[in-house]
A and B are shown apart, each in its own frame.
Chain A
Amino acid sequence: MKRTIMAALIIAGTAISATASGKLNVVSVYPDYGWLASQVGGDHVTVSVLAKGTQDPHFVDAKPSFLVALHKADLLLVNGLQLEVGFLPPLLQQCGNAKIQPGAPGYVDLSTFVKPIEVPVGGVDRSMGDIHPYGNPHYHLDPRNMAAIARGLAGVFAAADPSHAADFDKSGAAVSAQLLSLDAEVAHDLAPIKGAPVVAYHATLDYFFLHYGFNVVGFVEPKPGIKPSPVSLMELEKSIRDKGVKLLIVENYEDVKIADKVARDTGARVAVIPSYTGGAPDAQTYPALMRAIVHDLLEASRG
């Protein structure tokens, strides 16, 4: 026992001296913030991303292979608002890296840079489905939030690597400006269908809908994370007809067949969209993702 601990301490000592390296090692749970981190960090950071843009962000598996990246991370960028609650805690407990544990400076909760919407008033329980108890965590689809995070990341990077603070500050401001002009472009391009009543699958696009002026009439999910039932779909189809909904928007990792059936029954059109960077071949960067969503929505409403 004593010998084991001694051996552990000796190995520990040698391992510490081996971790010194030039660039900041940034791990982002989701690809959108990974893109942002490499834009803001430039050559001074190496970025790796855990989840894929093609997968449901709520159901990422805690694969042991993620431990390799987490083990050597200087900074971990998490979405927060409990989006990662199903897989990140056990990975953090296993990764053997004190720098990125919750409460440490390397654990960067990006939701602190934005103002969450749909924060439940008065508490929640699971009779409401798998609800997000601290507000809607899918804030990345409002480019103004991404702009705020770009500026926030510049500060985080500067604190972790003060020698390049000026570079981070400059690129943070530039990326932020780029995102705000992207926002204006998206608003302009969506103008023809602004105000349209729509039905979505999950509340993934609520920030997007609020900001760009769509009226969400309902969701295919009767409650967050709950599979639609024949009864809930009948009610949905009724409100689609009553409110003249022409557009049904489905994240491409959800059950598109259900949405297709609702569309067939009601005459609405389905837009199957990527909702995270990397979620489609034409959405490999965040601006490309936003343009792909705009394109898909316009295409579907054109018919």
Chain B
Amino acid sequence: MKSVKFIACSAFIYALGARAQTPAAPTPEDLQKQIQALQQQMQQMMQGYQSQIKTLQEQIDALKAAQSPAAAPAPEEAAQGSVPPIPSAPPSPALQNPAISVLPDFTYSSGNDPYWKSQNAFQVREVELALSAAIDPYATANVYLSLENGHLNAEEAYAMFPGLPGGFSMKVGKFYADFGKQNAMHTHMWFQADQPLALRTMLGDEGLNDVGVSVNHLLPTPWMSDLTVEVTGGRNADVFGGARSDLAYNVAWRNFWDLTDNANLEAQLSLAGGKNATGHGTGLGNLSVTYRYKPLSSGTRASFLWRTEVIRENYRGMDGINRSTGAFSYVDWQFTRGWFAGLRADYAEHPSDPRMHDKGGALTLTFFPSEFQKFRLQYERIDYAGLGPRNALVFEYGFAIGPHGAHPF
């Protein structure tokens, strides 16, 4: 801009100077001619300057345009639509690594059922602490600590190797045996307030849970089918417990069929064996069948699940083999969003004396206000060893904080 002004000023001075050089006493004709010449000169000069100014202005415009990038996002998006602002809060540690979740479970029980009578009326039955994180690119850690009656136990603590050569996956550490579906379920995932009678009576309160290695591979069948082989230390007070070197084994063959988009069927056969406290062998079998119905496009989220497991135990003791059988069957029906009604039938022979058996059932009503908490009311009626029915009314409440969102199916 400065240079433009300078050129304009000097042009004016030059014009004045030209006028000053005019000779004295000129004729009117001369004057006329001189004026015309001057006018022409002036016009030419002005045209020149104008074109110069125009060129300069164009250059300035070009520079300015280059400075404001044409690639910048068009303001079109902000101006067009609008959506409500999303809320925010102080940073939550739950989103940091490792993923930590806490899942307490409270119960209140009344009635004359001996299983519930052995527990406090109001109790914090369990506080589960779930931690998980990738260890490195090869393995993921899953640790489930359980605080029960003042004792902290590693309910499960294992490394999962999801992609070994040859399509194998492997678990190393302490884990629930893949023995039926119910055995591996944590307390907060149960469909009723307690474990089915058959598991409690035949496998003990902790179920089949031990330290060892579990290897899994898909089978090349046209339907989904896989095989899990587990080798563990053989420590379970009720069924295993031989010498230090007596390991326990479990093989699970799982099959799954999508019947329709909305329904599927799962069947699993599990066979386990090891040495028991008498030094002889215990053999266990489990046949588990699950039918699930869940319409994909259901606004009300109705669903239905039916599961039956039959457990067989052959316990060889000092005085021969005891063959006992246990079974349970339950349904869980989601009749509207968040609300489930359930029914369970139980049967279990005593492994120590199969002539004696317990049988009964439970009715449940469960409400999930969200995925992260539940209220449950359960009525239970069990006849232990033919001594007459015992009743229990149980109220259960549990919640989950932290990212523990993904559940095994």
- Where the two chains meet, the residues of A that have a C-beta atom closer than 8 Å to any C-beta of B are 1, 4, 8-9, 11-16, 19, 52, 54-55, 59, 61-65, 67-68, 71, 85-90, 92-99, 101-104, 118, 120-128, 130-131, 133, 203, 206, 209-216, 218-219, 225-227, 252-258
Task: Compute how far the CA of A15 lies from the CA of B219 in the bound complex, rounded to whole angstroms.
Answer: 11
Q: Contacts A90-B408, A102-B134, A209-B83 given: A97-B167 contact, CB under 8 Å?
A: yes
B229/A127 in contact, CB under 8 A: no
The one of B86, B294, B408 that contacts A131, using a Cβ cutoff of 8 Å: B86
Establish whether residues A210 and B406, one from each chain, have CB atoms under 8 Å apart when the complex forms.
no
Complex contacts, A61 vs chain B, CB 8 Å: 294, 409
Q: Quick one: given A64-B266, A130-B370, A218-B84, are A101 and B163 in contact (CB under 8 Å)?
A: yes
Contact A253 B256 (CB under 8 A): no
* Total contacts A-B at CB 8 Å: 194
CB of A201, distance to nearest CB on chain B (Å):
9
Interface flags, B367-386, vs A, CB<8A=1, else 0: 00011100000000000000
Are A101 and B256 closer than 8 Å at their CB atoms? no
Nearest 9 A/B pairs, CB to CB: A98-B163, A12-B166, A255-B299, A123-B91, A15-B166, A213-B80, A55-B296, A122-B88, A64-B256
State in angstroms the CA–CA spacing of A258 and B300 once bound together: 10
Of B82, B169, B296, the residue contacting A93 (CB under 8 A) is: B169
Contact B86 A94 (CB under 8 A): no
A1–B125 CA distance with the chains assembled, in angstroms: 37
With known contacts A118-B86, A218-B84, A86–B405 Cβ distance under 8 A: yes
Name the B residues within 8 Å of A54 (CB-CB): 261, 296-297
Q: Contact at A96–B77, with CB atoms within 8 Å? A: no
Say yes or no: A125 contacts B94, CB within 8 Å: yes
CB proximity of B53 to chain A, nearest CB, Å: 43
Asked if A124 contacts B89 (CB within 8 A), the reply is yes
**Bound: A215/B169 CA distance, A:** 49
Cβ A52 vs Cβ B294 within 8 A? no
B92 touches A125 (CB 8 A): yes
Closest Cβ of chain B to A191, distance in Å, is 12
7 contacts between A and B (CB under 8 A): A15-B166, A93-B140, A93-B160, A96-B162, A96-B218, A98-B164, A211-B80
**Would B297 and A104 count as touching, CB distance under 8 A?**
no
| Nearest chain A CB to B292 CB, angstrom units | 8
Q: Contact check, A85 vs B256: say whether CB atoms are below 8 A apart.
A: no
Q: Which residue of A lies closest to B163 (CB)?
A: A98
Residues in B neighbouring A118, C-beta threshold 8 A: 83, 86
Q: In the complex, A123 Cα to B298 Cα: how many Å?
A: 32
CA distance A103 to B139 in the complex (A): 12
Task: Decide yes or no whether B217 CB sits under 8 A from chain A.
Answer: yes
A89: B residues at CB distance < 8 A? 406
- Residues of the A chain whose Cβ atoms lie less than 8 Å from the Cβ of B409: 61-64, 87, 90
Are B217 and A11 closer than 8 Å at their CB atoms?
A: yes
Which of A13, A92, A122 lies in contact with B89, CB distance below 8 A? A122
Q: Is the CB–CB distance between A253 and B169 below 8 Å?
A: no
**Taking CB as reference atom, which chain B residue is nearest A88?**
B406
**10 further interface pairs, Cβ-Cβ under 8 Å (given A54-B296, A209-B83):** A12-B165, A54-B261, A62-B406, A64-B254, A101-B137, A101-B162, A124-B87, A215-B81, A225-B371, A253-B296
**Contact in complex: B370, A225 (CB < 8 Å):** yes
Name the one of B82, B89, B160, B256 contacting A127, with C-beta atoms under 8 angstroms. B89
Chain A residues with CB under 8 Å of B140's CB are: 93
B134 surroundings in chain A (CB, below 8 A): 102-103
Is the pair A96, B164 in contact by a Cβ cutoff of 8 Å? Answer: yes
Contact flags (1/0) for B220-246 with A, using CB distance below 8 Å?
A: 000110100101000000000000000
Which of B169, B213, B261, B372 meets A95, CB within 8 Å?
B169
CB contacts (< 8 Å) of A71 on chain B: these are: 167, 218
Known: A61-B294, A211-B80. A68 touches B224 (CB 8 A): yes
Least Cβ–Cβ distance between B302 and chain A, in angstroms = 11
Asked if residues B95 and A133 are in contact (CB atoms below 8 Å), the reply is: yes
Q: Report yes or no: A85 in contact with B406, Cβ–Cβ below 8 A.
A: yes
Complex CA–CA separation, A242 to B74 (angstroms): 32
Nearest-neighbor residue (CB-CB) of A279 within chain B:
B297
Query: B45 within 8 Å of A by Cβ?
Result: no
**Known: A95-B169, A123-B95. Is A4-B229 also a contact (CB below 8 A)?**
yes
Q: Once the chains bind, are B299 and A123 in contact (CB under 8 Å)?
A: no
Report yes or no: B162 in contact with A98, Cβ–Cβ below 8 A. yes
Q: B77, B163, B223 — which one has the most chain A CB atoms within 10 A of its CB?
A: B163
Query: What's the least CB distance linking B117 to chain A, in Å?
Result: 36
Q: Is B258 an interface residue (CB 8 A)?
A: yes
Chain A residues with CB under 8 Å of B258's CB are 63, 65
* Residue B64, interface by CB 8 Å: no
Tell whether B215 is near chain A: CB-to-CB under 8 Å: yes
- With both beta carbons as reference points, the residue of chain B lying nearest to A126 in the complex is identified as B372
- Would B81 and A211 count as touching, CB distance under 8 A? yes
| A256 and B299 contact, Cβ closer than 8 Å, known pairs A65-B256, A93-B140, A122-B91 | yes
A35 CA / B287 CA spacing, docked (Å): 40
Q: Which residue of B lies closest to A209 (CB)?
A: B81
Interchain CB contact under 8 A, A216 and B405? no
